[in-house]
A and B are shown apart, each in its own frame.
Chain A
Amino acid sequence: MKRWLVVLAVFGLIAAACTAGDGESEVPEGLGETGATGEEQEPVTIEMWIPFSADHEVAGVQQVFDRFEQEYPWITVDVRKGVASDQKVISAIRAGTPPDAVMSWSLDDLPAFCDTGAWQDLTPYTEATDFDASLFPPSVARYTGFGGKQCAFPFLTDALGLYYNTDILEEAGYTEPPQTMSELTQMAKDLTVFNADGSIERAGFVPWFGYYMMTPPELAITFGADFYNDDGTSAIGTDPDWVELFQWQKDLVDFYGADNLRKFVAGQGDEWGEASQDFQNGRIAMAIDGEWRTAFIANGTPDLNYATAPFPVPDDQADTYGIGRVGGTIIGIPRGSAHPEEAWLLVSFMATDTDSLVAAANAIGNVPTTLPALESPELDLPEQFQTFLDIFGNPGSHYKDMSIIGSTDQNLLGDFAERWQAGDVADLQAGLQAVAQQINDEIEAAS
């Protein structure tokens, strides 16, 4: 008797192991027809995943959903917050259980998503509904589509500019921010204070790659340095603006001393704390940072006297002054979405409804992404925020060109940049060409 019980238990275990989880599921079928808007009346619940998790940010997005539900009363939006990594979305798409709509912070992954259909091409929808794309500034098209397909809409964006501490500038006799790179270099040197032992007490501007937002891709936009040629090959080895960028950076690094900078950077305050970031504490006089910093300053260090301006441009490109790196949150419909028509209604509403965008921008402190929203009198943001609205509206502003290898190109360039600033690269041009070659190899291997 006892032995049969044991055998039964074993069989039970086997059965459980066999039925738990299967292998890969079939790739879900593509979309059906793009339905007309707003004619179904049976209640539908759709699921949207968002990366935000901080309370005030989630509340800022929630009010958009509330407005949407008022406009389309038969649709309920079920929000899952805190999904900050694309990997969860990828797993869900592969398992055939993706959310109906999704929001992401990872712009670099969009070409891969677009190319493989993981985020659905929205062109059939935009054509069926005569969508008015002129609502968006020109930069938007460059970071929401790839290979002729439009796979995403923007939902609030970021813009990078120059922050400067007006008190520190005044002390040194400056009233205007730098507009060219040579002015930036001069002011950086003048505003720096060294300790007796040679270490940096206060830095005018930290040129060290890896320090907060100071990375090659962020600087590339204002330098006019392109990542890719029109044919999709890497332009890093051929575009002379890259040489200019790296040489400018090295000159300023040499002024400070690489080891001094390393020590200084090691002592940096937490970038995302309320009041800990170096610029907020006067440890640096000028910085490249995004529009979100205004909210941090208003909340954490409201007594700071600062101003913002577009980031300086090379002396020989002075007429481009006013542009900046832009690009931010994107929303789309994943492959296998159970309710694509309702998801389209949600996504297009979020991307275009002026009141929602303005309210979200006010709550989260990001830049609203349509031209009407940019000009709305309801925007309630610090005066220093205007710079970023202007940068985003500037037709010359854009995000770096993207490719199907995602952030590999930035990683390879960043790796090179670290060696460069440490002084380990003898031949800049050759080094850049090597990076370009690697990027081309990676793209070829991934195609």
Chain B
Amino acid sequence: MKRYTTAALFMSPWIIGFSVFILYPALASLYYSFTNYDLLSTPSFVGLDNYRFMFTKDPQFWQAMRNTIWMICVGVPLSMLVALGTAMLLTRPRRGVKGYRTILFLPTMAPPVAAALAFFVIFNPATGPVNQLLSGIGIKNPPLWFYDPFWSKWGLLFLGLWVVGQTMIIYLAGLLDVPRQLYEAADIEGASPWQKFRHVTFPSLSPVLFFTLVIGVIAGFQYFTQAYVASFAVSGQATEEASAAVGSPQGSLLFYSIYLYLKGFSDFRMGYASAMAWMLLLLTLACTALLIRSSRHWVHYQAGGFR
């Protein structure tokens, strides 16, 4: 009994912290999701109205959802590919590896708001260096990046690819962990580089890939900062007041968390925002469960078991 008490006492700071800062707000937001709550008066119960509104009367909800899913489906695999590619390159050189590693990791140290603004300036279609370079090499009408609804998300994607340093380091560690004997055995059997990758590198790396995939998808659902900064920079306003539209241009930068935030804190609809938050949780749970399910087909753990 005494051991349980001691254990409970030691766990209590975490339990209390979890209850107060995570469990209670989550339950509170579940309650608010069934109310009309403008933060200034007491919440009034409205049942499932918020959820109904979300699915039947709110085109912007679907737009936010589409944008977020696009970012996840395109952004996560692409950043994993770039991270893996650079990590594999980093296993090659004999000298100066530390220098390359540092340089490739540095972008992750940049504060996200500053980085987003910097990219916004660099990708300025009229005055930015990117388009000047593109016109210089002969491209007649370079894309308008953040001012074009098609290209704006690509601008953000490039920003995301610029900061793959963290994932890259994780992959590098994983790559260096692949048993040398496996490669030697593959060489003996005359495997091509692609076959070596497919049958040695990828399976060995698959737990790490799976981890970064899940983390990447969850982070993708919560994507906020860079899109928020870029969107307001495009509408030319330093503050929220009198902004031309949310998610400029043409709602292409309206991501789920941004829409949630605006609804809750600017539009006096905290109840609706809470409903959106719970939808996001359910969606994230569903996606994560699906990914875990799929992992049994392609993730190999070195200890020999399957998940």
Contact = CB atoms under 8 A, between A and B. Distances in A.
A268 B146 CA distance: 14
Contacts of A209: 244
Contacts of B41: 27, 116-117
B250 A116 contact: no
A40 interface: no
A28 to B, nearest CB: 12
A5 interface: no
Nearest to B57: A441
B4 to A, nearest CB: 14
Interface stretch (B75-83, B89-97, B110-118, B266-274): B266-274
B40 A116 contact: yes
Nearest to A7: B9
Contact of A445 (B20, B53, B146, B250): B53
Contacts, number: 136
Interface in A255-273: 259, 262-268, 271-272
Interface in B1-50: 9-10, 12-13, 16-17, 20, 36, 38-42, 49-50
Q: Range of interface residues on chain B?
A: 35 or more
Interface string A389-411: 00000000000000011111011
Contact of B125 (A210, A263, A405, A446): A263
B40 A414 contact: no
B124 interface: yes
A417 B245 contact: yes
Interface string B223-253: 0000000000011101111111111111100
B248 A210 contact: yes
Contacts of B53: 441, 445
Given A210-B245, A415-B250, A418-B245, A267 B272 contact: no
Contacts of A87: 265-266
A417 B40 contact: no
A115 to B, nearest CB: 9
B281 to A, nearest CB: 21
A27 B265 CA distance: 19
A397 to B, nearest CB: 17
Nearest to A413: B245
B127 interface: yes
Interface in A111-125: 112-113, 116-118
A18 B15 CA distance: 12
Given A27-B42, A446-B36, A446-B38, A210 B16 contact: no
B147 A90 contact: no
B129 interface: no
A85 B16 contact: no
B149 interface: yes
A415 B147 contact: no
A271 B239 CA distance: 12
A98 B251 CA distance: 35
Contact of B249 (A113, A118, A418): A418
A116 B42 CA distance: 10
A10 B10 contact: yes
A408 B238 contact: no
B236 A90 contact: no
B126 A263 contact: yes
Contacts of A268: 236
A215 interface: yes
B51 to A, nearest CB: 11
B268 A112 contact: yes
Given A14-B13, A90-B40, A267-B127, 11 more contacts: A10-B10, A27-B42, A85-B239, A108-B241, A116-B40, A117-B40, A210-B236, A210-B244, A262-B144, A262-B147, A263-B125
Interface of B: 9-10, 12-13, 16-17, 20, 36, 38-42, 49-50, 53, 57-60, 124-127, 141, 144, 146-149, 234-236, 238-251, 262, 265-269, 272
6 contacts: A117-B40, A267-B127, A418-B248, A441-B57, A445-B272, A447-B36
In order of increasing CB-CB distance, the 7 nearest A-B pairs are A267-B126, A414-B245, A210-B244, A116-B40, A118-B40, A418-B250, A441-B57
